[in-house]
Structure 1
Amino acid sequence: MFHNNNQLLNNLPQLQNLIKRDPPSYHEEFIYQLRHFNNILEVFKLCPEKHNKTLDELIMFLAQVSQCYPKELENFPQILIDLLRSHNTVLDGDMRMTLCRALILLRNKNLLAPTDLLELFFQLLRCQDKALRSFLQTHIVTDIKNINSKHKNAKLNTTLQNFMFTMLKDSNTRAAKMSVDIMIELYKKNIWNDVKTVNVIATGCFSKITKVMVSCLKFFLGKDSDEKDSDDSDSDNEVDPKEVMMANKFNKKTRKREKQLDKVKKLAKKQKKKKSEVASFNFSAIHLIHDPQGMAEKLFKQLETTTKRFEVKLLTLDVISRLIGLHDLFLFNYYPYIQRFMQPHQREATRILQFAAQASHELVPPDVIHPVLKTLANNFITERNSSDVIAIGLNAVKEVCARCPLAMDEDLLQDLAQYKNYRDRSVMMASRALIQMFRTIRPELLHKKDRGRPTEATEEMEQMDYGKSTATDFIPGAEVLLSEQSTHVKVDSGPESASDDEEWIDIQHSDDNLEIDSGAEEEEESDEEREVESGEKKKSKIEKQAVKRKQKAESAKLKKEQAQKISLEKILTDEDFKKIDAANIRKQVFTTKKGIKRKLEETPVEAPSELVKLSDIENIYKKRKHDKQARIESVRKGQADREKFGYKDGRVNEHCSKTNREKRKNKNFQMIRHKVKGKVKRSFKDKQIALRNHLLKLKKMK
Structure 2
Amino acid sequence: MNLIKRDPPSYHEEFLQQYQHFQNTIEVFQLSPEQPNKTLDELIIFLAQVAQCYPKELAIYPQQLIDILEKHNTVLHSDTRMQICRGLILLRNKNLLTPTDLLELFFKLLRSEDKNLRQFLETHIITDIKNLNSKHKNAKVNTTLQNFMFTMLKDSNSKAAKMSVDIMIELYKKNVWNDSKTVNVIATGCFSKITKVMVACLKFFLGKDVGEKDSDDSDSENEIDPKEVMMANKFNKKTRKREKHLDKVKKLAAKSKKKKSQAPIFNFSALHLIHDPQGMAEKLFQQLETTTKRFEVKLMTLDVISRLIGLHNLFLFNYYPFIQRFMQPHQREVTRILQFAAQASHELVPPDILEPMLKTLANNFITERNSSDVMAIGLNAVREICARCPLAINEDLLRDLVQYKGYRDRSVMMAARSLIHLFRTTRPELLHKKDRGRPTEAAEELTSMNYGQIDAKDYIPGAEVLLKEKHEEVEINSDSDSNEDEWVDIEHSSDEAGNNTSDDDNDGSDVSESIDPEGETPQQVNDDISIQEKTFKHKLSKTEKKERKADAAKEISLGRILTDEDFKRIDMANIKKQLPERGVKRKLEESQAERSELVKLGDIENIFKKRKHDKAARIASVKEGQKDRQKFGYKDGRLNIHCSKTNRERRKKKNFQMIKHKVKSKVKRSFKDKQIALRNHLIHLKKMK
Check conservation: 2:438, 2:580, Cα contact below 8 A. Answer: no
Residue 620 (structure 1) aligned with residue 607 (structure 2): yes
The counterpart of 1:609, out of the listed 572, 576, 596, is 596
Aligned twin of 1:576: 566
Three-state SS of the structure 2 residue aligned to 1:589 is coil
In the TM superposition, residue 545 of structure 1 has moved relative to its aligned partner by 6.7
Aligned twin of 2:141: 156
The counterpart of 1:474, out of the listed 442, 456, 459, is 459
In the TM superposition, residue 442 of structure 1 has moved relative to its aligned partner by 0.4
Three-state SS of the structure 1 residue aligned to 2:65 is helix
- Tell me the alpha carbon deviations over residues 404-456 of structure 1, each in whole angstroms, 9 at most, x when there is no partner: 00111111111111111111111111111110010011000001110011111
TM-score after normalising by structure 1: 0.72
In the TM superposition, residue 571 of structure 1 has moved relative to its aligned partner by 2.7
Say if 1:678 and 1:620 are closer, same or farther in 2 by CA, change over 3 A: closer
The counterpart of 2:9, out of the listed 20, 24, 40, is 24
Check conservation: 2:410, 2:610, Cα contact below 8 A. Answer: no
Aligned twin of 2:543: 553
Aligned twin of 1:640: none
The counterpart of 1:215, out of the listed 185, 192, 200, is 200
In the TM superposition, residue 568 of structure 1 has moved relative to its aligned partner by 2.3
What is the count of residue pairs matched by the alignment? 536
- Tell me the alpha carbon deviations over residues 144-182 of structure 1, each in whole angstroms, 9 at most, x when there is no partner: 011111111000000000000000000000000000000
Alpha-carbon distance in structure 2 between the residues aligned to 1:239 and 1:109:
33
Alpha-carbon distance in structure 1 between the residues aligned to 2:561 and 2:473:
22
Aligned twin of 2:578: 588
Aligned twin of 1:403: 388
Say if 1:391 and 1:236 are closer, same or farther in 2 by CA, change over 3 A: farther
Q: Which amino acid aligns with 1:375?
A: T
Q: Which moved more, 1:39-48 or 1:98-107?
A: 39-48
Q: Which amino acid aligns with 2:605?
A: E
1:80-91 to 2 correspondences below 5 Å:
80-91=65-76
In the TM superposition, residue 556 of structure 1 has moved relative to its aligned partner by 1.3
In the TM superposition, residue 328 of structure 1 has moved relative to its aligned partner by 0.5
Three-state SS of the structure 2 residue aligned to 1:215 is helix
Aligned identity (percent) is 72
Q: Which amino acid aligns with 1:613?
A: K
Check conservation: 1:402, 1:608, Cα contact below 8 A. Answer: no
Aligned twin of 1:356: 341
Alpha-carbon distance in structure 1 between the residues aligned to 2:532 and 2:204:
62
Aligned twin of 1:140: 125
Alpha-carbon distance in structure 2 between the residues aligned to 1:433 and 1:123:
57
Say if 1:305 and 1:583 are closer, same or farther in 2 by CA, change over 3 A: same
Alpha-carbon distance in structure 2 between the residues aligned to 1:280 and 1:127:
37
TM-score after normalising by structure 2: 0.73
Alpha-carbon distance in structure 2 between the residues aligned to 1:38 and 1:578:
75
Aligned twin of 1:338: 323
Residue 451 (structure 1) aligned with residue 441 (structure 2): no
Alpha-carbon distance in structure 1 between the residues aligned to 2:295 and 2:405:
36
Q: Which amino acid aligns with 1:571?
A: I
Alpha-carbon distance in structure 1 between the residues aligned to 2:220 and 2:639:
51
1:314-393 to 2 correspondences below 5 Å:
314-393=299-378
Alpha-carbon distance in structure 1 between the residues aligned to 2:315 and 2:635:
85
Alpha-carbon distance in structure 2 between the residues aligned to 1:487 and 1:608:
34
The counterpart of 2:46, out of the listed 61, 71, 74, is 61
Alpha-carbon distance in structure 1 between the residues aligned to 2:534 and 2:103:
82
Check conservation: 1:118, 1:140, Cα contact below 8 A. Answer: yes
Residue 79 (structure 1) aligned with residue 64 (structure 2): yes
The counterpart of 1:680, out of the listed 638, 650, 665, is 638
In the TM superposition, residue 682 of structure 1 has moved relative to its aligned partner by 2.9
1:176-325 to 2 correspondences below 5 Å:
176-223=161-208, 284-325=269-310
Alpha-carbon distance in structure 1 between the residues aligned to 2:356 and 2:536:
39
Aligned twin of 1:96: 81
Three-state SS of the structure 2 residue aligned to 1:90 is coil
Three-state SS of the structure 2 residue aligned to 1:150 is coil
Alpha-carbon distance in structure 1 between the residues aligned to 2:600 and 2:316:
22
Check conservation: 1:589, 1:603, Cα contact below 8 A. Answer: no
Say if 1:491 and 1:606 are closer, same or farther in 2 by CA, change over 3 A: farther
In the TM superposition, residue 548 of structure 1 has moved relative to its aligned partner by 3.1
Q: Which amino acid aligns with 1:551?
A: S
Alpha-carbon distance in structure 1 between the residues aligned to 2:45 and 2:588:
74
Alpha-carbon distance in structure 2 between the residues aligned to 1:424 and 1:437:
21
Aligned twin of 2:20: 35
Check conservation: 1:188, 1:281, Cα contact below 8 A. Answer: no
Alpha-carbon distance in structure 1 between the residues aligned to 2:429 and 2:475:
36
Aligned twin of 2:30: 45
Aligned twin of 2:228: none
Q: Which moved more, 1:554-563 or 1:478-487?
A: 478-487
Q: Which amino acid aligns with 1:284?
A: S
Three-state SS of the structure 2 residue aligned to 1:205 is helix
Say if 1:131 and 1:542 are closer, same or farther in 2 by CA, change over 3 A: farther
Say if 1:544 and 1:618 are closer, same or farther in 2 by CA, change over 3 A: farther
- Tell me the alpha carbon deviations over residues 209-258 of structure 1, each in whole angstroms, 9 at most, x when there is no partner: 0000000000011148x99xxxxxxx999899xxxxxxxxxxxxxxxxxx
Check conservation: 1:370, 1:408, Cα contact below 8 A. Answer: yes
Three-state SS of the structure 1 residue aligned to 2:578 is helix
Say if 1:439 and 1:603 are closer, same or farther in 2 by CA, change over 3 A: farther
Q: Which amino acid aligns with 1:680?
A: R
Alpha-carbon distance in structure 2 between the residues aligned to 1:566 and 1:683:
95
**CA RMSD of the aligned region, Å?**
3.2
Alpha-carbon distance in structure 2 between the residues aligned to 1:558 and 1:38:
92
Aligned twin of 2:100: 115
Three-state SS of the structure 1 residue aligned to 2:451 is coil
Structure 1 gap segments, 5+ residues each: 1-15, 228-234, 241-274, 498-538, 632-646, 648-664, 666-675, 688-702
Check conservation: 1:403, 1:608, Cα contact below 8 A. Answer: no
Alpha-carbon distance in structure 1 between the residues aligned to 2:635 and 2:401:
71
In the TM superposition, residue 27 of structure 1 has moved relative to its aligned partner by 1.1
Say if 1:678 and 1:313 are closer, same or farther in 2 by CA, change over 3 A: closer
Say if 1:599 and 1:165 are closer, same or farther in 2 by CA, change over 3 A: same
Check conservation: 1:189, 1:280, Cα contact below 8 A. Answer: no
Three-state SS of the structure 1 residue aligned to 2:584 is coil
Say if 1:236 and 1:568 are closer, same or farther in 2 by CA, change over 3 A: closer
Alpha-carbon distance in structure 1 between the residues aligned to 2:272 and 2:317:
21
Structure 2 gap segments, 5+ residues each: 213-218, 225-258, 485-528, 619-631, 646-689
Say if 1:411 and 1:218 are closer, same or farther in 2 by CA, change over 3 A: same
Alpha-carbon distance in structure 2 between the residues aligned to 1:466 and 1:614:
28
